[in-house]
Amino acid sequence: MGFSLGMIVEGSVAILLIVTIGYCAVLNQRLKRLHSDRETLVKMIGDLVTATSLANTAVSELRKTALETDASLQERIAEAGKCETELAGQVAVGSQLVQKIARITAAAKAHQVAPAAEAQMEAAAVAQIADKLEPQSRLHSALQQLAMRPGIGGKAA
């Protein structure tokens, strides 16, 4: 029994050694794959860091552009407000001018002034009123042209 017991122990040790060597081979293969995956993972992490820095740069540029655009829009809004105020003033002056022209025309018709005198009065009134307007005003130009036409005398066509 001693002989067979020794053989059983030796056989068991041999089998355990074979299993251990096989398990070590499997672990070695896994370690090689892990090592190759590690290099790939390091490369991926480097790419991720690069992409993150590019994204941060892009976000800061977008933020800067948004601030510049906001400032530009605020300036344009302020300029549009000024133009609106100026235009409202010009419209008010134009309305007053039209009312004055209507009164002058009505007064001229009521007094039956001679056509030449009427034309001179109307031209003088239009010129006096038009002098108050800015030279760039379209209404001003149109009134000056009407006043300078000979033979119209302020009468409608």
Question: Which tens digit of pLDDT belongs to each residue from 14-54?
Answer: 999 999 999 999 999 999 988 888 888 888 999 999 999 99
pTM exceeding the 0.85 threshold for the entire prediction: no
**What percentage of the chain carries pLDDT values higher than 70?**
71
Going from the C-alpha of 58 to that of each of 9, 45, 47, 67, 145, the distances in angstroms are 71, 20, 16, 14, 59
Separation of CA 39 from chain center: 45
State the pLDDT confidence band at 157, using cuts at 50, 70 and 90. very low
State the pLDDT confidence band at 67, using cuts at 50, 70 and 90. very high
Handedness of CA 112, 118, 122, 125 (dihedral sign): negative
Q: Compute φ and ψ for 112, nearest 5 degrees.
A: 50, 50
| Residue 142 scores a pLDDT above 70 | no
**What is the pLDDT at residue 74?**
94
Q: How far apart are CA 140 and CA 129, in angstroms?
A: 9
State the pLDDT confidence band at 152, using cuts at 50, 70 and 90. low
Q: How far apart are CA 16 and CA 39, in angstroms?
A: 34
Which of left, alpha, beta for 46 (phi over 0: left; psi -120 to 50: alpha)?
alpha
Question: Region 63-75: what's the mean pLDDT?
Answer: 94
The more confident residue out of 32 and 5 is: 32
Check: CB of residue 134 under 8 Å from CB of residue 140: yes
